[in-house]
Structure 1
Amino acid sequence: MSTRTRRSARHRRRFVLAFVVTVGVLAAISVGAAAVSLTQGPRVTEVQVDPEAATRESGSRVIFTADQALAPIDASQVTVEPETEFTVDAAGRTVGVRFPTALDADVDYTVRVAGVTGLGSGPSSDLETRFTTPAASLLTLVRDPDGPDQIVRHEIGTDDATAIFAADAIDDFRATSAYLAVTTGEAEQMSLTVVDRASGEAADVAIPGDGTLTGLQVSARGQLYGYTFSDAELTAESGRANVLFTGSLRDAFASGEAAEPVTVGGEERSIDRWRFVPETSSLLLNDFSGDLTLLDTDDESATAFGQAGGIQGVARSTYTALVWRVEEGFTELDLSSGEEVPVDDVDLGGETILGHMIPLATGGTLRGYAEMVEGTPADSRVVAAAGGSVTDVATVAAGDALQQVCASPSAQYAAVTVAPDIVRNAFDRGVQPLPRDLETRVQDIRSGELVATAPGFAASWCEVGPW
């Protein structure tokens, strides 16, 4: 046998031996993995959650992805700590835990799905994740008679305050996670600016003409904005008075594209109060004749809800509006069914006058009352009322004026705007004038603890400004 033949035979034996060893190792790994799979149950391969977005808006999710298809999941298998309302949907390898209301800020959350099994049965396991939501933040408008006005961002629980936009004569602003909508100028010569919050860049946006912009609002879910416009030259025969315009913040920033007038039945109406309906394409309108109308902007269909004297708000994560009827008083109106439930009065142990009321995403209302002593206004009290119970949130001392009450997205905090020493607190020269010295106090709604005090007003947690 030649030397070349013997070498070739040795190479073949080495190859066969290496192949057998490799197959054996792979088989052992496969058997080991199968054994582990048979003894430990499904495992988490990915978790998706955005803690910051979860504190800003309703409908956020924790999504688990497992390493195998799962047997049906029941809501009873899911726990969230601290206890929080949730819904569950599952399909294939994923389990989604949805929070219908925003989550509290600066809280450690644990989400656990217990007793999960594979689609073909086998041992069970728990899917679990932990995350911490960031501290809350709040924007306020600080007007300065000696310099530019500023929109300032405040980190709740710290002394952090950062001016994020400045301009002369800022009248109002509203904010989404991505944009600011800001109105500036003097009466009848106003401007609209949209600011990209990520870059700080600003874009001027075309408006209907010379006139006044009021009632500025935004919709976080659709990145929309709206305002009511009145022409500078307005007579009984001509001109637009409080006509509602809405548009896209994205388009306005990208190209300066103007908002479009809103029509009901093909006609522009003079709108007194209005609101975006959260998580929908609808607007709730209350015109100067008292007509209360729900308008779907997608198909322009309109639903009439009779006469109303005002809209107090539409609760986040719900389809329920708080409205005032001349005869019935305050009622909660289900916009999907038309059903109404009267809002009960509360007894604060003395004579009071109700001045402020807004709906809360968690149910109930946040209210501001002026206490009366022998017919004279005394302290103001801010309370949360739900299901017959009343929780004191804040007290504003006599002599100071309560300007507005709002709630954070999860109703964890209240923003209480106050004008100190109202007798000596002169009004500014804004298009919508207010006392020059204003501060916003952040109160814990559950405990009544004062958490922070920020200069300014028009808190970004509010649907509208304090007018």
Structure 2
Amino acid sequence: MSSELRPAERDRGAFRRRLLGTVVVLAIVTGGFAFASVVQGPRLEAGQIDAARATRLAGQTLTLTVNQPVAEFDAADVEVEPEASVTAEANDRSITVTFEAPLDSAAEYTVRVPGVVGTYQGTESTLEYRFETPDEEVYSLHRRSDRGEADVVQRTSIANPESEVVLSAPRIQEFARFDDILAVVTIDDDDHNELLLSQGGQAQPLELALPMDASIRELAASTTNPLIGFVLDTPAVDGVKQYESALMTIDVSGAAAAEPEPVLGLDGSPLRVATWAFVPGTASVVVQDFEQSVFLVDVLGRQPVAPLGVHTEIRGFLPGTADLVVADPDRGALIDLTDGTTTTLELASADLGGNVYPGRITMLDESHYLISLVASKVEDGRNVRTSVLAEVGPEGELTQVFAPAAETSLIREYCVSPNGEYVAVSASAEGGHPDGYSNKPGYTETLTSVVEIATARIALNLAGGFSDWCTG
């Protein structure tokens, strides 16, 4: 018998050696993965947040999904850059981080959760997740009919200040928008109102049917839900008006089929409204009637009308919340519309000095507010007025946020962005005069400046006024 192996036997031996080597390598690799899993601790698999909504509302959440159930972590150690107040909790394989205030626009956030321990072993790990918030778009109305040109609704943004025309018409009274859906009230040659609805800058906006010779005012849009509203008056027929100061709302989630519907009061008839506003994050509105009674109304009819008492004035909401600011002669208060609780506002007063007169107040949080101020003095035998917008802190400290570039220009209107980060300030030059629009008067030679409140930095300037932040 030959001492040499036959070729077939040599091949089988080589195959067995290769197979054994492969098994050994796989065992080592598998063991390495298992060891690494123990050493590394829990790992982040995914993160989820509605970044756009998080710039509109407080209380939005980031959900971090971990590769194993979380046994422990310290919520107080969660870090956010840029700085933001958060709470955090774990449930099985998820860690939920809740932002207590709306986030800044056009910002990159990093969230770190250190000291996370899984149920399978005691190794700690740090989870890290990054996300970006969208840029803030700014819409405004530039009236040019006094120069024989069409009025335009224009759009720009904080990060890209190049302005573009979204819609034009011979005379535009007012506008409001939700996302890319634009509602515009125009004035025809007979001084009658028309209501147009445009989506995505379409060439031919839809004209909504209204009663003949109807009058529209106080057009506004929700910042968080596809709802637009306005106050409607119709002329008397045989001494009877179909609608008198009636609040109408439009569900624009399917914009082409939108139909205005009246908001009904306790007695089931259309409410007569002196002033009103959408409640952020909900399908509800707050309304004040002509007897100063205030109500909370679900425009979809899912909840009964809720009386909120009698108040002299409603001053909007704390940015990104359902906390309604009301004012009365003896005090101010916050009404939390999620549970109906009322908290008295203890606001510090600033020392304004002589010949300085306060204007409108807008709350930024429970202890900070914006206020417009006008100073008056006599120069060369004439009365000269100047104006500034200032922030007042919890101790009454006064910080200037904005002053027009021309000393004699006057602030006519200001409105805070939905997240409270910016303020749009409209000021008219000394040579400006009323523009003659009866239901929504403005001034010629108006310039709107968008200002970062925390730094007083002017982010952009726009010709015209009436920022869409004033219609939310």
Bucket of the pairwise TM-score, normalised by the shorter protein: 0.7 to 0.9
Task: Please name the residue that 1:121 is paired with.
Answer: 121
| Alpha-carbon distance change, 291 to 386 in structure 1, aligned in 2, over 3 angstroms | same
Taking the TM superposition and a 5 Å limit, the aligned residue runs for 1:101-180 are 101-145=101-145, 146-156=148-158, 159-180=161-182
Between the two proteins, the alignment pairs up a number of residues equal to 456
Task: Please name the residue that 2:264 is paired with.
Answer: 263
Taking the TM superposition and a 5 Å limit, the aligned residue runs for 1:449-460 are 449-460=457-468
| Alpha-carbon distance change, 262 to 316 in structure 1, aligned in 2, over 3 angstroms | same
| Alpha-carbon distance change, 200 to 376 in structure 1, aligned in 2, over 3 angstroms | same
Task: Please name the residue that 1:93 is paired with.
Answer: 93
When the two structures are superposed, what TM-score results if normalisation uses the length of structure 2? 0.86
SS at match of 2:210: coil
Q: Is the 8 A contact 2:41 2:121 kept in 1?
A: no
* Shift, 1:96, TM fit: 2.7
Q: Is the 8 A contact 2:38 2:123 kept in 1?
A: yes
Task: Please name the residue that 1:206 is paired with.
Answer: 209
Task: Please name the residue that 2:330 is paired with.
Answer: 328
Q: Is the 8 A contact 1:87 1:99 kept in 2?
A: yes
| Alpha-carbon distance change, 440 to 267 in structure 1, aligned in 2, over 3 angstroms | same
Q: Is the 8 A contact 1:414 1:442 kept in 2?
A: yes
Counterpart-to-counterpart distance in 1, 2:365 and 2:471: 13
Pick which of 32-41 and 100-109 moved more: 100-109
Pick which of 367-376 and 387-396 moved more: 367-376
Task: Please name the residue that 2:64 is paired with.
Answer: 64
Task: Please name the residue that 2:297 is paired with.
Answer: 295
Residue 352 (str. 1) matches residue 360 (str. 2): no
| Alpha-carbon distance change, 170 to 235 in structure 1, aligned in 2, over 3 angstroms | farther
Residue by residue over 1:260-308, the C-alpha shift from the partner in whole angstroms, topping out at 9 and shown as x without a partner, is 1111111222101011111123221101121111223443422323322
Residue 383 (str. 1) matches residue 390 (str. 2): yes
Task: Please name the residue that 1:366 is paired with.
Answer: 370
* Shift, 1:343, TM fit: 5.3
Task: Please name the residue that 2:282 is paired with.
Answer: 280
Residue 446 (str. 1) matches residue 454 (str. 2): yes
SS at match of 2:29: helix
Task: Please name the residue that 1:313 is paired with.
Answer: 316
Residue 411 (str. 1) matches residue 420 (str. 2): yes
Task: Please name the residue that 1:3 is paired with.
Answer: none
Q: Quick one: which amino acid aligns to residue 364 of structure 1?
A: H
SS at match of 1:31: helix
Counterpart-to-counterpart distance in 1, 2:50 and 2:302: 33
Gaps of 5+ in 1: 1-5
Question: Identity rate of aligned residues, in percent?
Answer: 27
* Shift, 1:363, TM fit: 5.6
Residue 226 (str. 1) matches residue 229 (str. 2): yes
Q: Is the 8 A contact 2:178 2:225 kept in 1?
A: no
SS at match of 2:126: strand
* Shift, 1:212, TM fit: 1.1
Q: Quick one: which amino acid aligns to residue 252 of structure 2?
A: L
Q: Is the 8 A contact 2:56 2:223 kept in 1?
A: no
Of residues 410, 420, 430 in structure 2, which corresponds to 1:421? 430
Pick which of 64-73 and 410-419 moved more: 64-73
SS at match of 1:461: helix
Q: Is the 8 A contact 1:224 1:246 kept in 2?
A: yes
SS at match of 2:38: helix
Q: Is the 8 A contact 2:246 2:270 kept in 1?
A: yes
Task: Please name the residue that 1:392 is paired with.
Answer: 400
Task: Please name the residue that 2:442 is paired with.
Answer: 434
Residue by residue over 1:30-73, the C-alpha shift from the partner in whole angstroms, topping out at 9 and shown as x without a partner, is 21111111111122222334555543444444332222222244
| Alpha-carbon distance change, 72 to 301 in structure 1, aligned in 2, over 3 angstroms | farther
Task: Please name the residue that 2:3 is paired with.
Answer: none
| Alpha-carbon distance change, 185 to 58 in structure 1, aligned in 2, over 3 angstroms | farther
Q: Quick one: which amino acid aligns to residue 385 of structure 1?
A: V
CA RMSD for the aligned pairs? Answer: 3.1
Of residues 240, 243, 247 in structure 1, which corresponds to 2:246? 243
Q: Quick one: which amino acid aligns to residue 309 of structure 2?
A: G
Pick which of 91-100 and 370-379 moved more: 370-379
Q: Is the 8 A contact 2:345 2:366 kept in 1?
A: no
| Alpha-carbon distance change, 30 to 328 in structure 1, aligned in 2, over 3 angstroms | same
Task: Please name the residue that 1:185 is paired with.
Answer: 187
